[in-house]
Amino acid sequence: MLGAIREKSSMKTSIKLALAAGAVAFTAGMSGSAFADIVVTSWGGGYTASQQKAYGASWEAKTGKKINWENYNGGLGEVRAMVEAGNATWDIVDVLPDQIRTGCDEGLFEEIPADMFITTGGVSFDDDMMVPRPNDCAIPQIFWSYMAFYQEGTYSGEQPDSIADFFDVEKFPGKRGIHTWANALIEMALYADGVAIADVYDVMDTEEGIERAFAKLDTIKDHVVFWSSGAKPLELVSSGEVSMSLAYNGRVGAAILSEGAAFVPIWDGQVLEEEWLAVIKGSKNKDEAIDFAIHASAPEQQAGQAKWINYGPMRKSGLAIIAANEPWYNTGVNIMEHMPNRDEVMPSSIFANPDWWADNGSEISERFTAWMAQ
């Protein structure tokens, strides 16, 4: 009897405790950002994980401050809304090349002078960059690329090894996976059609050039399966739904490096895209955010990220650290051969021109949508 009462009362206490714990957990969950010193918003998945493990952890260890990592789906919609409302709930955002340009034009990002960045080996920051900073808002992050790939054993005899082969459905029959937006496709189509890499954007500046690109795309249109999320092309290729697909190089690399997938990347005609960090205008933790940004773009930190993902550092010194210290990848294998911006593949790679896309993106997007719909 007494035992039962005691048990009952102890159960009551434990329920109370559980409720209290729940309430604490709830408030913590609600205002996670309030406890963190800065909020960094990125793309999630393996990419954010690489940022966390590389320069996120080292910055937290160095400063004793805490980062809260948030995910988003890209674009500047949220950032613009935040800045216009004067209530920045993020401090740093990881953006694509178009967005760093429009965002800086629109006054959505803080400016960080070039002399604040950490340099190494007596090389100036500007000389260390593989591409020039488009504006003072841009904080160097990585290069990634759109590239073609296929599964080993798909073709007997001659193997596809160029983007021209990707566009050649007679020589290499089978379906092709491509993404549902125009970026990189226009460039690839023109290069596959015989335009020299150096001339691609000059050709794209003309109406005939755009028509030529769409005509090239027409040649594979009946064989196309469209994808819109990054994991999809891997699934399309491994299930045999398509014989070749375009994909983000990081996804293909991760499948090969971590899961041992038998994918063969086609580096020829890959389109290299920039990825930048930016400090949001009106950030409530501006000083910490800038400190983090400077830290994240230091050469060793850039190289450190490549331990976890095969995206290429934007700074030459970062790439040099990796090359000198192979095997660099966390599983103890070489990573350099999966880097999109290593020397060997550069002659046959196209650097995307984000200024062209900032000018023409909307128009081409409409044309591409119309092309898909035909």
Partner 1 sequence: MATAAPEQILTADGTPLKASLQKSLMRSKMHAAGLVFPAFLFLVIMFIAPIGVLLTRSIDDKLVNQFLPNTFALFEQWDQKELPDEDMYEAMFLDITGADKTLLGRATIRMNYEVSGWRSLVKKSNREFKKIESGPYKEAMIKVHKRWGEIKYWQSLGAMVDNYTMGYYLNAFDLRFDGDKNVIEQPENRQVYNLLWWRTFVVSLLVTFFCVLLGYPVAYLLATLPMRISNLLMICVLMPFWTSLLVRIVAWMIMLQQEGVVNNVLVSIGIVSDENRLAMMYNFTGTIIVMTQILLPFMILPMYSVMKGISPNYMKAAQNLGAAPSLAFIRVYIPQSLPGVGAGVILVFIVAIGYYITPELVGGKDGRLIGNMVAYHMQNSLNWGLASAMGLILLTGILVLYWLYDKLTGSAGMKMG
- Please choose, from the candidates 122, 158, 180, 174, the residue with its C-alpha nearest in 3D space to the C-alpha of residue 299: 122
C-beta separation of 275 from 143 below 8 A: yes
Any residues with CB less than 8 A from the CB of 65 and at least 6 apart, and which?
37, 38, 59, 288
Alpha-carbon span 186 to 213, nearest angstrom: 6
- Answer yes or no whether residue 219 interacts with partner 1 by CB under 8 A: no
Residue written as token pair 């003309």: 206
Q: How far is the CB of 4 from partner 1 (least distance, A)?
A: 36
Identify the helix (H) or strand (E) that includes residue 198.
none
Site size for partner 1 (CB under 8 A): 37
Closest contact distance (angstroms) between CB of 76 and partner 1 is 6
Letters for 77-116 (x = contact with partner 1 by CB under 8 A, - = none) are x--x-----------------xx--x-xxxx---------
Write out the binding residues for partner 1, residues 165-184 only, by CB under 8 A: 180
Least spacing, CB of residue 180 vs partner 1, in Å: 7
CB-side exposure of 231: number of CA atoms within 13 Å? Answer: 4
Binding mask 126-155 for partner 1 (x = CB under 8 A): ------------------------------
369 scored as a contact of partner 1 (CB under 8 A): yes
Alpha carbons within 13 A on the beta-carbon side of 59:
28
State yes or no: residue 202 binds partner 1 (CB under 8 A).
Answer: no
- Among the listed residues 229, 260, 324, 347, the single contact to partner 1 using CB under 8 A: 229
Judged by CB under 8 A, the residue of 17, 240, 262, 325 near partner 1 is 240
Q: Which is nearer to partner 1, 7 or 366 (CB)?
A: 366
Dist CA 222 CA 176 (whole Å): 9
239 binds partner 1 (CB under 8 A): yes
Distance, in Å, from the CA atom of 286 to the CA atom of 291, rounded to the nearest integer, reads 8
**CA-to-CA distance for 142 and 160, rounded, in angstroms?**
28
Looking at beta carbons only, is 137 or 163 nearer to partner 1? 137
By CB under 8 A, name the one of 152, 161, 259, 366 that touches partner 1.
Answer: 366
52 is written with which tokens? 């966390």
Please, which residues bridge with residue 263 across strands?
151
Alpha-carbon distance of 201 to 347, in angstroms, equals 16
Binding mask 41-80 for partner 1 (x = CB under 8 A): --------------------------------xxxxx--x
CB of 55 to partner 1, least distance (A): 27
362 touches partner 1 (CB under 8 A):
yes
Tell me the sheet residues that pair with 109: 280
Q: Which residues bind partner 1 (CB under 8 A)?
A: 73-77, 80, 98-99, 102, 104-107, 180, 224-226, 228-229, 239-241, 355-356, 358-363, 365-367, 369-370, 372-373
